[in-house]
Each structure stands twice: as C-alpha cells, then as structure tokens.
C-alpha cells in the first residue's frame, strides 16, 4: 500500500514568493523556519580551509562527536558517550532514522497537534500510524503527561518538541519529568525534537535526557547555529540502540556531509556571534508582539522559544492558505498557513517566522498593518 502524504503548504507559498520576486515584487520571506543569517564566520573560514586542503569523502567526525558530548555536559549537565551521536544530513533524516530503527510498520506514534508537519507525514511514509493529540491554550499547545496517560491503547512512541514548531512553547522540567514517568510506566519510547534549543526568551530549555536517559534526541545545526543549508544534524541514541541506529544510518544515508562536519566543529565555539543573532530575534519578537494588537491579531500561542508566532485568525478567515496567498500577492509578505501544522484547526491559524532582519520586520509590520486593517474593516462593513 502506498503512503498518502499531505502537502507542505509553506513550500507552495515559498514557490509563489520566488515567482513574484522574479517578476519584480519585493518579498519579505517569513514563511520558512530558517535563519536569514549565515553560518558563523569561523565555520565559513574553516570550510574554506578544508576546501583548499582536503579532497574529502565519506567521513564521520570523531572530534565533532566529542565536542557535542561536551556541549551536552556544559549545557544540560548530562554526561553522554560521544559514540551515541549518529550524525545525519539534517534533523529530517534523524527523525526517519529514529522512527525506522526503533519501531515497526503499524506502530502507533503520538504527538501534539499543532505540530511540525513532517511528524505526521514521516510517520505515515514509514507505514506507521500517527496519533495526533489536540493541544490548545489550556495546555499551552503542548502535550501533557495526563494526555499521554489517557491514550488507549498506549502508543509505541511519543514525539515531543520543546521549543515547539509552530508555537514556540516550551515544556518545563516538571512536565518533562511527568512525561518521562508516564512513558516509562507504560512502555512508551520518547523521541525528543530539540532542534530549537538555544533559541529561548523566557528561561532555560531542558533536554529530555536530564530526566530520561533512554530517550532518543533529534537536533541539528540548522536553527541556533544558523546552518540550515549545510544539512547537518544528529540522532542521540541510547547505548543499547546505537549499533542498530548506525546500521540503519549507513544503509539509508551513508554519512553526513564532510564539509559541514568540519564547519560545525568551529560553529560550536562561536557562541558570541550566534548569541548576537539571538539578540536580533529577541528584538524582532518584541516588535511583533507590540504590533500585533494594531494588526487586530491578539490570540497567539506563548512564544517562549524558536522564532515563530502562531496566530489565531478565526475572526478573519476559515481558509488560512487563501489568506496567506492573498497577503503575499498584495503586500509581498510571505507567511505560513496553519494547516501545515494542524489539519483540523489550522485553517484558522497562521505562522509568522521572525528569523529575518529587524529592518525587514519593521517593513513587514507596516505592510501588514494596512492590509489587516482593511480586511478587518471589510469584515465589519
């Protein structure tokens, strides 16, 4: 049986945005979850050096894994054997690797709705069964231990994300502990997407490994490290699962890009530059939150981390894709429709990425202010 996947609608918005750009329209790209900044300068310099001196080939960087292990100790107080890191071509293959090496076709995998579109589609592509749990303002758009405890039958695995996409909400250490306890009791494996770690605005973000060492962790250099195009991520697997994960990775993906591994090692020691990027996102977030009431947009998920605002537009539309397309064509501001993240309620939500320059945020606010005001006035007329 062929797997039937849902479209990634933000990609369609992105294609339209580039088409309009080619016709001369000025577009502000806020539709994708990627930093507008480049890799840190030290990473770029290291890449130039490697290109000039190394023919490269299939490679798995032992120094990078050792440095990642130190990162987990320094950041979370968790001691990790470097051999537990399976380097991948971005976080997306790490998700495929975690699911395919851990579970079997037909297994049920639970996760929050709204949630990242690829959770649902990757689970379906691997012929597993997605179990989407509706999460709204009452749970801060996050899964809770109580919701997982109530699932019957118990799923084989649960995917958690903190900070989450599209909402930016964060799970507290207490809630992570409760989730870990429930999953341990019920025999549910935990896959934790921690790709947005480092991008927080309301206190520290905890790793699931602080409370559950047997969890599988997915992360990458795409977000905080501003290296989306370098396609480098990792799966951090439990000790007893590492050999199987490596076997699957070697057969499905060979190795991660060699050049990116060299550059990433330098990026891990570029905190000052990367924290300057975070300062830009912090200001962008502040400006958008301040402007939202003037756009007649006030119902949002708490943006604790990542670089998104997930906004309720039910007072304006029941077709978020049409709203995003109209906004793009008429103002040149590209944002993502909520239907990517919630096929049930997402028709009334939009996601705005603020990982662009502060100047672009200011321009986007001005363009959207007039557009949303006119749309709201037309609704009330």
Rounded Cα distance between 313 and 379, Å, is 12
Residue 308: Cβ within 10 Å count: 29
Enumerate the H helices of 218-357 as residue ranges: 242-253, 258-267, 271-291, 320-331
pLDDT number for residue 292: 92
3-state secondary structure of 327: helix
Buried b (16+ CB within 10 A) or exposed e, 208-217: bbbbbebbbb
Residue 299 CA: distances (Å) to CA of 122, 143, 328, 349: 30, 20, 22, 10
Rounded Cα distance between 100 and 273, Å, is 36
Per-residue pLDDT 10s for the chain (381 aa) are: 787 888 889 999 999 999 999 999 999 999 988 898 899 999 999 999 999 998 788 889 999 999 999 999 999 999 999 999 999 999 999 999 999 999 999 999 999 999 999 999 999 999 999 999 999 999 999 999 999 999 999 999 999 999 999 999 999 999 999 999 999 999 999 999 999 999 999 888 999 999 999 999 999 999 999 999 999 999 999 999 999 999 999 999 999 999 999 999 999 999 999 999 999 999 999 999 999 998 888 888 889 999 999 999 998 999 999 999 999 999 999 999 999 999 999 999 999 999 999 999 999 999 999 898 887 655 533
3-state secondary structure of 139: helix
Question: Which distant-in-sequence residues (6+ apart) come within 8 Å of 148 by Cβ?
Answer: 110, 133, 158, 179, 182, 183, 186, 188
How far, in whole angstroms, is CA 370 from its chain's centroid? Answer: 30
| CB of 88 closer than 8 Å to CB of 233 | yes
pLDDT number for residue 85: 98
Rounded Cα distance between 262 and 264, Å, is 6
Beta bridge partners of 218: 193, 235
Question: Which distant-in-sequence residues (6+ apart) come within 8 Å of 250 by Cβ?
Answer: none
Task: Please identify which residue in the block is written with the tokens 């975070």.
Answer: 278
Adjacency order of strands within the sheet including 216-220: 85-88, 233-236, 216-220, 189-193, 157-161, 108-113, 129-134
Question: Which distant-in-sequence residues (6+ apart) come within 8 Å of 165 by Cβ?
Answer: 33, 115, 116, 195, 196, 306, 308, 341
| CB of 202 closer than 8 Å to CB of 163 | no
Rounded Cα distance between 273 and 364, Å, is 25
Rounded Cα distance between 172 and 203, Å, is 10
| CB of 235 closer than 8 Å to CB of 102 | no
Buried b (16+ CB within 10 A) or exposed e, 218-228: bbbbbbbbbbb
pLDDT number for residue 11: 92
Structural domains in the chain? 9-38+271-372 (3.40.640.10), 57-267 (3.40.640.10)
């Amino acid at each position: 049986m062929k797997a039937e996947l849902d479209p990634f609608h933000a990609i369609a918005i992105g294609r339209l945005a580039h088409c309009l750009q080619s016709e001369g329209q000025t577009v502000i790209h806020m539709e994708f979850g990627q930093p507008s900044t480049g890799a840190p300068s030290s990473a770029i310099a290291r890449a130039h050096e490697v290109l000039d001196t190394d023919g490269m080939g299939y490679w798995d960087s032992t120094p990078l894994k050792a440095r990642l292990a130190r990162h987990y100790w320094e950041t979370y107080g968790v001691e990790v054997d470097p051999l537990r890191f399976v380097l991948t071509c971005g976080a997306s293959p790490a998700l495929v690797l975690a699911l395919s090496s851990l579970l079997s076709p037909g297994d049920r995998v639970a996760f929050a709705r709204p949630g990242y579109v690829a959770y649902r589609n990757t689970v379906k592509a691997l012929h597993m069964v997605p179990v989407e749990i509706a999460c709204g303002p009452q749970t801060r758009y996050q899964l809770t231990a109580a919701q997982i405890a109530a699932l019957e039958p118990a799923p084989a695995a649960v995917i958690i994300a903190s900070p989450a996409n599209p909402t930016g909400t964060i799970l507290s250490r207490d809630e992570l502990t409760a989730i870990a306890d429930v999953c341990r009791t019920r025999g549910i494996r935990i896959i934790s997407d921690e790709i947005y770690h480092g991008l927080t605005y309301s206190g520290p973000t905890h790793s699931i490994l602080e409370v559950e060492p047997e969890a599988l962790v997915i992360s990458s250099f795409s977000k905080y490290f501003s290296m989306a195009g370098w396609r480098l991520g990792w799966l951090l697997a439990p000790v007893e699962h590492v050999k199987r994960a490596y076997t699957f990775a070697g057969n499905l993906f060979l190795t991660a890009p060699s050049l990116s591994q060299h550059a990433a090692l330098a990026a891990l020691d570029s905190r000052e530059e990367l924290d300057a990027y975070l300062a830009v996102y912090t200001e962008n977030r502040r400006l958008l939150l301040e402007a939202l009431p003037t756009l007649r947009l006030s119902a949002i998920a708490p943006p604790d981390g990542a670089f998104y605002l997930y906004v309720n537009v039910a007072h304006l539309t029941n077709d978020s894709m049409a709203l995003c397309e109209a906004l793009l064509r008429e103002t040149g501001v590209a944002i993502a429709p909520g239907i990517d993240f919630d096929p049930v309620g997402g028709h009334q939500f939009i996601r705005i990425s603020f990982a662009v320059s502060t100047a672009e945020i200011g321009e986007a606010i001005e363009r959207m202010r007039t557009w949303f005001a006119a749309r709201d006035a037309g609704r009330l007329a």
